[in-house]
Amino acid sequence: MNNELLHHLEQRINEAVEEISSLRQKISELEMQNYEISEEKSELENTLNQKNEQQSNWESSLSQMLNRLNQLDNK
């Protein structure tokens, strides 16, 4: 009876160790995915900021041109 109980406990411990190992592997994979997604997010934010700046510059240029045209029309 004692040997059966010890054997059963040993099996449970081995299963728990395997599960912990599997979970650690999954955590490592998720951490890597998180890092990659963070890098991609950063790149997308940079691109978006560049596009917004570009749009702002275009709008400013157009506004200046319209102001000049209005000044010419008023002369």
pLDDT for 73: 85
The span from the CA of 1 to the CA of 9, in Å, is 12
Q: Report the alpha-carbon distance of residue 21 to residue 50 in Å, rounded.
A: 44
pLDDT for the residue numbered 58: 97
pLDDT tens, N- to C-terminus, the chain (75 residues): 699 999 999 999 999 999 999 999 999 999 999 999 999 999 999 999 999 999 999 999 999 999 999 998 887
- What would the 3-class secondary structure string for 17-36 be? HHHHHHHHHHHHHHHHHHHH
For the chain, what is the domain count? 1
Structural domain range at position 15 = 1-75
